[in-house]
Chains A and B, each alone.
Chain A
Amino acid sequence: DAMVIQNPRYQVTQFGKPVTLSCSQTLNHNVMYWYQQKSSQAPKLLFHYYDKDFNNEADTPDNFQSRRPNTSFCFLDIRSPGLGDAAMYLCATSRGDPEQFFGPGTRLTVL
């Protein structure tokens, strides 16, 4: 089945220790998104790639970076995680139309 895969499903890191979350897709979609979702809150868009073009949201902290080495993979790098960065991180893809396809998410814990 074509799908969006996120690894790992659960990630524990230490305060200030860089961490990378991974997303891959077999849908061959040209757009990939990263969302942060904290408990009882709406998913919040951090940034997205349209093909190789990176689009950062204005309020995304500089601590969050992303890489998209090819169509299939996209990474979320958190350079110095703080306690406030503990959240569910969702990856999504689209064909360049409004409908998005989501991965299962990675739950990040910061100790």
Chain B
Amino acid sequence: AQRVTQPEKLLSVFKGAPVELKCNYSYSGSPELFWYVQYSRQRLQLLLRHISRESIKGFTADLNKGETSFHLKKPFAQEEDSAMYYCALSANSGGSNYKLTFGKGTLLTVNP
């Protein structure tokens, strides 16, 4: 069975400081990892996925299979980055049947 662990429930940084949200996973197959974000009073939405290797809103995440990690990083945090961040792992349960397993989330607060 797959598992996603986000060790920090809360993370508080000052504006302009670097931020790293940690995510570790366990999965016997080849994982596909995502970061989803939920801003205040908004729906859960995709921030980035590891296969695209994009930088979205200044955030990047690298899949480290050796350490089974997919940490989310941003060099200079902005106040508008304050949100709940969920790391998620997608497991293929056959054909095009994909299921997401979420971590418990990290609430990021960026202080002015």
Contact = CB atoms under 8 A, between A and B. Distances in A.
Interface string A23-55: 000000001010000001111110010100001
A50 B96 contact: yes
Interface in B2-43: 4, 9, 32, 34, 36, 42-43
Contact of B90 (A40, A41, A98, A105): A98
B46 interface: yes
Contacts of A43: 44, 86, 100, 102
Interface residues of B, number: 26
Contact of B105 (A31, A42, A96, A104): A42
Nearest to B92: A98
A42 B43 contact: no
Contact of B46 (A42, A99, A103): A99
Contacts of B95: 50
B99 A48 contact: yes
Contacts of B99: 33, 45, 48
Interface in A53-77: 55
B45 A42 contact: no
A33 B97 CA distance: 11
Contacts of A105: 43
B49 A99 contact: yes
A60 to B, nearest CB: 12
Given A50-B97, A99-B49, A42 B102 contact: yes
Nearest to B86: A42
Nearest to A100: B100
B32 A98 contact: yes
B10 to A, nearest CB: 11
24 contacts: A31-B97, A31-B98, A33-B99, A40-B104, A42-B86, A42-B103, A42-B104, A43-B44, A43-B100, A45-B99, A45-B101, A50-B95, A50-B97, A55-B97, A92-B44, A96-B96, A97-B98, A98-B49, A98-B90, A98-B92, A98-B100, A99-B46, A103-B43, A105-B43
